């Protein structure tokens, strides 16, 4: 069968840099750090006291107060971002068939804050099981997809995807596949995450995964810098409207870009550490290029996973050089996590939006907070350090890797009819 073409016709985002796509993108290009000391709970006894929290976000500005109380923060942000994306795409009851519009949404962890608070409240009591009746529906990973569909009346394919920090990239790939196969006209896809909490920060601290640069939070996320010491936790949500090309054209939708292809792989190596030679990262980029039917030289920009961990940044760089060979030196590479922090399950879609905007504007967002070259990294690679760069961007590749050895990559390219 002939596969359908998939384009992006709408976007929405809540990020530590801005509560919509234009503000997010302007901050990225400007090299703004979203990191600061955590304000949502008392961090005085924690090893890491900072993160990339949302700024000036109150869910009741967007959602009914009573309804908002029934939702974990990861679902609240998902709904707000979905509202933005639906409006941006110009979707209405008059121009779509709701039975042909689906939601495939992701989170790496889901309602951790709800889970933490319910268990802590129970532990403080006398042992009598008094739990909020919305405890389970607030916590489960699939509930964001369910609420998005109910809010907008979309009755097409609906499910959740979870693969740790690769989750929302895998959701995008799954959504594109549904449309390519003709199973839906439109899919809302992306991810959300909100685990900046005692359990979230404490758990990642115990793994020694987080930066502990408490003296200078804004420069703590340092991908590819010699002195990087771990990632900075972020929160937020992103939504893409993926649409079958002819359907988009028929309703006069604006088209941001085309989803060229995607790939997935496993390291099959370790629960948290990447394969030291970047084998899974290498395989997933090759798979994405093969799926897109693209040559190495077609890629202009890679938004890397680049979390600012000593092992991860090195392994990914090795993989890029092995896959792209001499063309690696023609690429722009950057880690926008240097500004947003690591949004875990929402990282993939937020970084896909960065790639889409790079394709749209021919601007590469920088990797900020570079102070000292790492002698283990090839100095001839262009990591787009500290300042955005202008260049023609016809196609961009986004990498996301998750605990458990999950890898996913997606390629977006300029739309040509």
CA 255 – CA 240 distance, rounded (Å): 12
Q: Is the pLDDT of residue 1 over 90?
A: no
> For 231-242, what is each residue's pLDDT tens digit?
999 999 999 999
Q: How confident is the model at residue 39 (pLDDT cuts 50, 70, 90)?
A: very high
> For 80-102, what is each residue's pLDDT tens digit?
999 999 999 999 989 999 999 99
Q: Are 284 and 278 in contact (CB under 8 A)?
A: no
Q: Is 275 tagged catalytic?
A: no
**Can you tell me which residue has the tokens 């990294």?**
377
Q: How confident is the model at residue 121 (pLDDT cuts 50, 70, 90)?
A: very high
Report percent pLDDT > 70 for the chain. Answer: 100
Catalytic residue among 152, 342, 370, 406: 342
Q: Which two tokens stand for residue 413?
A: 């390219």
CA 317 – CA 264 distance, rounded (Å): 18
Tell me what the pLDDT averaged over the chain comes to: 97
Catalytic residue among 52, 147, 152, 165: 165
- CATH class given for the domain over 7-405: alpha beta
Q: Are 40 and 190 in contact (CB under 8 A)?
A: no
Catalytic residue among 305, 355, 370, 406: 305
**Can you tell me which residue has the tokens 């879609």?**
349
> For 48-64, what is each residue's pLDDT tens digit?
999 999 999 999 999 99
Q: Is 305 tagged catalytic?
A: yes
């Amino acid at each position: 069968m002939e596969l359908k073409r998939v384009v992006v016709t709408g976007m929405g985002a809540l990020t530590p840099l801005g509560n919509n796509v234009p503000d997010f993108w302007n901050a990225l290009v400007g090299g703004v750090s979203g990191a600061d000391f955590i304000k949502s709970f008392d961090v005085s006894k924690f090893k890491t006291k900072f993160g990339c929290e949302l700024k000036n976000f109150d869910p009741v500005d967007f959602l009914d107060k009573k309804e908002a109380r029934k939702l974990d923060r990861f679902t609240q942000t998902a709904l707000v971002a979905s509202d933005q994306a639906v409006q941006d795409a110009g979707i209405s009851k008059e121009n779509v068939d709701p039975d042909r519009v689906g939601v495939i949404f992701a989170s790496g962890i889901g309602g951790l804050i709800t889970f933490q608070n319910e268990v802590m409240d129970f532990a403080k009591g006398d042992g009598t099981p008094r739990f909020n009746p919305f405890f389970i529906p607030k916590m489960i990973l699939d509930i964001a997809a369910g609420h998005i569909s109910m809010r907008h009346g979309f009755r097409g394919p609906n499910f959740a995807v979870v693969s740790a920090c690769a989750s929302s990239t895998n959701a995008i790939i799954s959504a594109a596949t549904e449309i390519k196969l003709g199973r839906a006209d439109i899919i809302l896809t992306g991810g959300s995450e909100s685990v900046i909490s005692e359990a979230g920060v404490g758990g990642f601290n115990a793994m020694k995964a987080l930066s502990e640069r408490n003296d200078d939070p804004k420069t703590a996320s340092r991908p590819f810098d010699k002195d990087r010491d771990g990632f900075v936790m972020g929160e937020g949500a992103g939504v893409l409207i993926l649409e079958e090309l002819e359907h988009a054209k028929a309703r006069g939708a604006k088209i941001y870009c085309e989803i060229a292809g995607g790939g997935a792989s496993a390291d099959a190596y370790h629960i948290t550490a990447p394969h030291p030679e970047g084998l899974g990262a290498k395989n997933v980029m090759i798979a994405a290029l093969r799926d897109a039917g693209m040559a190495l030289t077609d890629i202009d920009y890679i938004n890397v996973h680049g979390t600012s961990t000593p092992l991860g940044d090195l392994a990914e760089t090795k993989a890029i050089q092995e896959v792209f060979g001499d063309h690696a030196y023609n690429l722009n590479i950057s880690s926008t996590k240097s500004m947003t922090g690591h949004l875990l399950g929402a990282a993939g879609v937020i970084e896909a939006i960065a790639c889409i905007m790079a394709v749209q504007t021919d601007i590469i967002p920088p990797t900020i907070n570079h102070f000292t070259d790492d002698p283990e990294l090839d100095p001839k690679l262009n990591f787009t350090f500290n300042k955005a760069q202008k260049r023609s961007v016809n196609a961009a590749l986004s990498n996301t890797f998750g605990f458990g050895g999950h890898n996913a990559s997606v390629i977006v390219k300029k739309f040509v009819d």
